[in-house]
Amino acid sequence: MSTAELEHAKTSAGLPPHPERATMEGRNKVLGFWLFLGAETVLFACLFGTYLALKGSTLDGPTTQELYKIPMVAAATIILLTSSLTSVLGVLGLHQNNYKKLMFWFGVTVLLGAAFLGLEIYEFVEYVHEGHTFTSSAFGSAFYTLVGTHGAHVLFGITWITALMIQARRRGINLDTAPKFFVASLYWHFVDVVWVFIFTVVYLMGKVG
Amino acid sequence: MSRGKHSARLLSIFAILTLLMTGCEEPAKTVFDPKGSAGESQLDLIMLSIYIMIFVFVVVMAIFFYVLIRYRQKPGDNSIPKQIEGSMKLELLWIVIPIILLAILAVPTLSTTFSLAEEAPDNGDALRVKVTAHQYWWEFEYPDLGIKTAQELHIPTNEKVYLELTSDDVIHSFWVPELAGKQDLNPGKTNTMWLDAKEPGTYAGRCAELCGASHALMNFEVVAEDRSDFDQWVAERKNPSSEPQTAEQKAGKEVFTQNCMSCHAIDGTKMKTKGDKGPNLTGFAKRNKVAGLMENNDENLEKWLKHPDQIKPGTYMPSFDYLNKKDMNNLKEYLRSLE
Amino acid sequence: MATIVTIIVFILFLGAILTGGYNKELMARFRSHWLWDWITTVDHKKIGILYALGGGFFFIFGGIEALLMRMQLFYPNNDFIVGRTFNELLSMHGTTMIFFVAMPLLFALMNVAVPLQIGARDVAFPFLNALGFWLFFAGGLLMNLSWLFGNAPDAGWTNYVPIAANEYSAGTGIDYYVLGLQISGIGTLIGGINFLVTIINMRAPGMSFLRMPLFTWTSFVASALILFGFPPLTAGLFLIMFERLFGANFFDVAAGGNPIIWQHLFWIFGHPEVYIVILPAFGVMSEVISTFSKKRLFGYTSMVFATILIGFLGFMVWAHHMFTVGMGPVANSIFAIATMAIAVPTGIKVFNWLFTMWGGKIRFTTAMLYAVGFIPTFVMGGVTGVMLASPPADYQYHDSYFVVAHFHYVLIGGTVFGVLAGLYYWWPKMFGYTLNEKIGKWNFWLFFIGFHMTFFIQHFIGLFGMPRRVFTYQPEDGLTLINQISTYGAFLMAVASILLVVNIVYSYRHRVPAGNDPWDGRTLEWTISSPAPFYNFAQLPRVRALDAFWHEKMNGRKEMEPAEPLGPIHMPNDTHLPFVMTLGFFVSGLGFVFRSNEVGVLGLIIVILTMFVRSFEKDHGYHVETDEIEKTEKGANA
């Protein structure tokens, strides 16, 4: 099979305009995932609440004003927001039944996600050097639990999307893989939205006071 | 509602019920027979809610039994009953009536909630007691009087006493059923409540929040006395007779200094340290109970000193089984001389 | 050493997962065994039976724990079981009964009945449904293993810190609680999502929301409560786990923490949890009362909205469990009013049940007896609930035996009566034969009398000054006789529970086919054969009214009009992956309990690998062909 033929096989003709909702399995998956995101929202709300209750308990460690470095976090925010956009472009590729576009934009999404994660790890290492650790105070525990749980979500997201891309390489876009990509992009947006809240509630409000 | 109306009601309903419930037993600390105004206002609410609820229950049961008897299927009757969708009027009825009943309960609920939350006045006249809970004993400190004691909370009658409640370790809850409902003692947080006693007497108290192995045994007492008796108690506590008199007591004090002093304090003696890990033992001989639990006599004291863990599982008090008979007797002599 | 062993085991696992078994013959023997069939099943009816078995299994533990506690309280200052061991009993009793008895038994009924009631061939996520069951079972098993290894959790089912912190609860007891609940909680969340999607997406043609049977409605609302109620528990359990295992400081006052945070998180979960276990029971009662009164449910629409309202208000009232914590009079007042408000929709329900029976033809089958017995019992539990809503009065009731009496009235009088009514009611649909009615009636009356004997009196034990969770009382408290009566009642309930087992065995031995519709039912599950064929409906029914089957019967038809021609039916394949994934979680849980983070992480890696295997697997299920369906249908009707 030539490469051209292979590409053609991957974007099988005759897919409906919204392949993720074309089957009962697909519809169930999308709805179920929305509901799951509802549960995740509550989970993060609880962690936010815990953080807000404990952010003043810094003991001898640095306070939020001393600690947070807004420029670096802002850069991370921009990276993650961009990745949300690229995942939208990926889904656009899915809807246009355009295999190449799908793979390219989801690939970019994964790279941006990895860059965000790298920055976050660097940030954490910095903090630990400044005496702000998981066990140093109630503030430390709450901070790392909230931001770390988000980081774990990003990690899971990039692993997941990577796995889906491997699947798509083998099977192309079809009624089975389409809902998976769609749902993964939903997840990615959710992770992004949570980060917007973390950036506002934790970093910006932490800097203000 | 007045106190007199209470007694009548209580006698009529609950005395009978209580007797039925318990046979010949008399419950020792019932919320149905409050001896303080906090407990009384709580009982008012309890009784009000019980009356409303009995009304609801009776109405439901009347319909219930009528329906069950009237509409049981008769043998051989296979007709199909009329299928009714519902009735707007009826359904509105059982939305509106409960709302009215709840409103009747809600109004006194709110006013009592706020009156019970009253804080100590700032003028300094009020009697304040700092209550600190420990696994498994109670510390009572009178900051304005400079007294620290344990296991027995002494209060004057007919005066509001303002409690500041906190905990040294885990969460406990302060409950004297006859005087007032409970309030939690949280580590790192001070809660307040007030109580008073209208009659002199000894009122049993309990820890009401699971606090570890000996939660069931974390008992204490509130001793309410007339103002003059209370003042005398205060005077005694301020000038305790803690110095040993006899040779045995002197030897006992020696044993105490070697074994007990790091955890327990006795005021009015010239001891080098004053331990605060265990109850303050000043005036121990005048307390009703050993360990807040057993009658204060020689035998129980020895039991406690020898095997505290068998009496209160998980207590921090170590066993003093290793003391020889003479030392043990001297120690007991000394402790039982503390007035 | 331990690490090396676990790594070897792990590699074997990997091999097994990736190759699908290294010894083909052995695997073939495995696969033909009946146990393999149950381990790999994705059929919601079988999963329902598994849930029932699991719930029954843990009920034995929870029940024995209860009896041991009542024996200890028979005499004042009894020394049968004291101190920490008693605390372990009370903690395990509460946790087991709520999470590993009430929840799975309700999930059993939901699995058996909901898809049939809405005319669906399957649930939305058969794979996840199986996973949900296995996770629940693994969590329960993990927690109960604590009895064997070291010590059980001893901080109550509420697991308040600081007594649940390392400093005050030595050993690994609390870790079993944390990880056991975490694992089973994931399973419950998955189960909840599954039912939500099933009910939203998979209803038969014509089955609009306002034609759904009330049990489906209550299951739907309960699932929504699970969806939003369980994450706070998950979050709280994570915090405790981090604190106990990794030295975090959320609750340690010395490090700036605050123990009240746990109480909020726990009760934001805990109060909806109460409605999660009571609402499906309400649904069962509605079905049973309607069926055995031969009348449609009185005020169906208001019942539905009352259910939704209860679910909604259930999230607004958590702090009424914390009136004595010291939140201040303002917060206490707000939560008091919100709590009282719940009485209104609950009252609507009770009166609607009464008026469903009004004018009906009541048949007192065992299922109906439980439903009828439920009404006064639950009203008792409800009115004491309103009494508890008043903060000043609650200062007296709180953490006393009054509260114990209240929630047993709700949880036994509500949930357990509901589950038993449901089991007697749907038993023929699950197994094809009915349970014996004569033994059933003995079972009901003994249970009913034993229950009231045990718990009515506990209201007074509490008002006479006995706190809950105490292992003893003093002779001078004057509480001996009432405690003894309560203990006798508990044993009566135990006898009744044994009778239920006797009934199951007896009825199995003397089974007679029950037919499609043994109770003159009203809803879709009674239109198909008993037990239901694995594909449920040969042809999806067309639903034309509330109480669809009754509607057809009244119009002279014996069965539903099909909404589609007979054709091949798509079914999911059985799979062993849910079991393997659960094994991963279980290994991980045990690893963390034993403070071996390597094993804990390895377990999680098994989980993630299984997820990937599942994702890459091309499993599109299979089709049941028309002639096979015809054969099955004929066989069932013969």
Here the ipTM equals 0.93
Domain identity same for C156 and C18 = no
Closest residue to C228, CB basis, from A39, A49, A145: A39
Judged by CB atoms closer than 8 Å, whether chains meet at B42 and C392 is answered as: yes
Flag whether pLDDT at A8 surpasses 80: no
Distances (CA, A) of C372 to B74, B91, C288, C499, C523: 18, 21, 9, 20, 20
Q: Residues near B157 by Cβ (< 8 Å), separated by ≥ 6?
A: B196, B197, B198, B199, B200, B224, B225, B226, B227, B230
Flag whether pLDDT at A66 surpasses 50: yes
Considering the domain boundaries, does residue B116 fall inside one?
no
Q: Are strands B127-134 and B161-167 parallel, antiparallel or unpaired?
A: parallel
H/E run at residue C571: strand C569-571
- How many structural domains compose chain C? 2
Range of the structural domain that residue B145 is part of: 127-238
Q: Which residues of chain C have pLDDT under 70?
A: 1-6, 16-24, 636-638
Within a 13 Å sphere around the CA of A70, how many CA atoms are in the beta-carbon half? Answer: 11
Considering the domain boundaries, does residue B319 fall inside one?
yes
Distances (CA, A) of C575 to B200, C182, C266: 74, 24, 35
pLDDT of residue C620: 84
Residue B39: closest CA among chain C residues belongs to which residue? C396
Domain identity same for C174 and C189 = yes
Considering the domain boundaries, does residue A7 fall inside one?
no
Considering the domain boundaries, does residue B102 fall inside one?
no
* A180 vs C contacts (CB less than 8 Å): 615
Domain's final residue, options B177, B204, B238: B238
- How many structural domains compose chain B? 2
Considering the domain boundaries, does residue C192 fall inside one?
yes
Q: Residues near A25 by Cβ (< 8 Å), separated by ≥ 6?
A: A176, A179
Residue A60: closest CA among chain C residues belongs to which residue? C255
Please give the mean pLDDT across all residues of chain B.
90
Asked if residues C165 and C253 have their Cβ atoms less than 8 Å apart, the reply is: no
- Taking Cα atoms as reference points, which of C465, C455, C449 lies closest to residue C487? C455
Closest residue to A50, CB basis, from C124, C189, C261: C261
pLDDT of residue A60: 85
Beta bridge partners of B289: B295
Q: Residues near C222 by Cβ (< 8 Å), separated by ≥ 6?
A: C106, C192, C275, C276, C277, C279, C280, C311
CATH code, A176: 1.20.120.80
- Give the whole-angstrom CA distance, residue B154 versus residue B152: 6
Q: Does C327 touch chain B if contact means CB atoms closer than 8 Å?
A: no
**Touching pair C, A by Cβ (3+ pairs < 8 Å):** yes
Touching C: A residues 111-150, CB under 8 Å: 134-135, 137-142, 145, 149
Domain identity same for C450 and C471 = yes
Asked if residues C283 and C356 have their Cβ atoms less than 8 Å apart, the reply is: no
* Nearest CA-CA distance, residue B254 and chain C, Å: 33
Within a 13 Å sphere around the CA of C567, how many CA atoms are in the beta-carbon half? Answer: 6
CATH code, B231: 2.60.40.420
- DSSP states along C410-473: HIIIIIIHHHHHHHHHHHHHHHSSPPPHHHHHHHHHHHHHHHHHHHHHHHHHHHTTPBTT-S--
pLDDT of residue A84: 96
Range of the structural domain that residue A44 is part of: 16-208
Within a 13 Å sphere around the CA of C463, how many CA atoms are in the beta-carbon half? Answer: 26
Asked if residues C575 and C237 have their Cβ atoms less than 8 Å apart, the reply is: no
Domain identity same for C57 and C116 = yes
Domain identity same for C18 and C128 = no
* Nearest CA-CA distance, residue C463 and chain B, Å: 6
- Give the whole-angstrom CA distance, residue B236 versus residue C488: 50
Domain identity same for C104 and C19 = no
Domain's final residue, options B238, B262, B291: B238
Q: Does C103 touch chain B if contact means CB atoms closer than 8 Å?
A: no
Domain identity same for C270 and C380 = yes
Considering the domain boundaries, does residue A4 fall inside one?
no
Say how many CB pairs under 8 Å bridge A and C.
110
Considering the domain boundaries, does residue A24 fall inside one?
yes
Touching C: B residues 209-228, CB under 8 Å: 209-217, 219
The total number of residues shown for chain C amounts to 638
Considering the domain boundaries, does residue B281 fall inside one?
yes
Considering the domain boundaries, does residue A9 fall inside one?
no
- Interface residue of B58, B64, B83 to substitute, partner C, most C CBs within 10 Å: B83
* B51 vs C contacts (CB less than 8 Å): none
Neighbours of A (≥3 Cβ pairs closer than 8 A)? C
Residue C236: closest CA among chain A residues belongs to which residue? A46
Closest residue to C387, CB basis, from B53, B79, B178: B53
- How many structural domains compose chain A? 1
pLDDT of residue B18: 55
* Nearest CA-CA distance, residue C227 and chain A, Å: 6
For B8, other C-beta atoms within 10 Å of its C-beta total: 10
C388 DSSP 8-state letter: H
Range of the structural domain that residue C12 is part of: 1-32
* A28 vs C contacts (CB less than 8 Å): 124-125, 197, 201-202
- Interface residue of C210, C351, C547 to substitute, partner B, most B CBs within 10 Å: C351
Neighbours of B (≥3 Cβ pairs closer than 8 A)? C
Residue C250: closest CA among chain A residues belongs to which residue? A138
Q: Does C563 touch chain A if contact means CB atoms closer than 8 Å?
A: no
Domain identity same for C560 and C531 = yes
- Taking Cα atoms as reference points, which of A193, A200, A204, A206 lies closest to residue A80? A193
CATH code, C160: 1.20.210.10
Considering the domain boundaries, does residue B179 fall inside one?
yes
- Taking Cα atoms as reference points, which of C313, C389, C346, C382 lies closest to residue B106? C389
**Touching pair A, B by Cβ (3+ pairs < 8 Å):** no
Judged by CB atoms closer than 8 Å, whether chains meet at B71 and C379 is answered as: no
Tokens of A202: 């934790």
Closest residue to C463, CB basis, from B31, B117, B314: B31
Residue B216: closest CA among chain C residues belongs to which residue? C470
- Average pLDDT for residues A10-35, to the nearest whole number? 83
Q: Are strands B161-167 and B191-195 parallel, antiparallel or unpaired?
A: antiparallel
* B75 vs C contacts (CB less than 8 Å): none
* Nearest CA-CA distance, residue B290 and chain C, Å: 14
Residue A49: closest CA among chain C residues belongs to which residue? C261
- Interface residue of B110, B115, B131, B300 to substitute, partner C, most C CBs within 10 Å: B110
Judged by CB atoms closer than 8 Å, whether chains meet at C246 and A167 is answered as: no
Cβ neighbourhood burial of C519 (10 Å; 0-12, 13-18, 19+): buried
- Average pLDDT for residues B50-74, to the nearest whole number? 95
Considering the domain boundaries, does residue C197 fall inside one?
yes
pTM: 0.94
Q: Does A152 touch chain C if contact means CB atoms closer than 8 Å?
A: no
Touching B: C residues 134-163, CB under 8 Å: 154-156, 160, 162-163
Residue in the structure block whose two tokens are 């295999």: A99
Domain identity same for C39 and C21 = no
Domain identity same for B275 and B319 = yes
* Strand, coil or helix: B141: strand
- Interface residue of C75, C290, C324, C337 to substitute, partner B, most B CBs within 10 Å: C324
- Taking Cα atoms as reference points, which of C548, C495, C475 lies closest to residue C116? C548
B118 DSSP 8-state letter: P
pLDDT of residue C18: 64
Q: Does C350 touch chain B if contact means CB atoms closer than 8 Å?
A: yes
Q: Residues near A98 by Cβ (< 8 Å), separated by ≥ 6?
A: A11
Q: Does B20 touch chain C if contact means CB atoms closer than 8 Å?
A: no
* Nearest CA-CA distance, residue A75 and chain C, Å: 29
Domain's final residue, options B238, B263, B287: B238
Touching B: C residues 393-432, CB under 8 Å: 393-400
Distances (CA, A) of C332 to B112, B183, C35: 11, 13, 53
Confidence of residue B339 (pLDDT cuts 50, 70, 90): confident
Q: Does C228 touch chain A if contact means CB atoms closer than 8 Å?
A: yes
- Taking Cα atoms as reference points, which of C581, C442, C564 lies closest to residue C498? C442
Residue B53: closest CA among chain C residues belongs to which residue? C383
B179 DSSP 8-state letter: T
Judged by CB atoms closer than 8 Å, whether chains meet at C358 and B71 is answered as: yes
Q: Residues near A128 by Cβ (< 8 Å), separated by ≥ 6?
A: none
Closest residue to C465, CB basis, from B171, B204, B313: B204
- Interface residue of A46, A144, A156 to substitute, partner C, most C CBs within 10 Å: A46
Closest residue to C200, CB basis, from A31, A46, A167: A31
- Give the whole-angstrom CA distance, residue B236 versus residue B145: 12
Domain identity same for C52 and C85 = yes
* Strand, coil or helix: B162: strand
- Give the whole-angstrom CA distance, residue C381 versus residue B57: 11
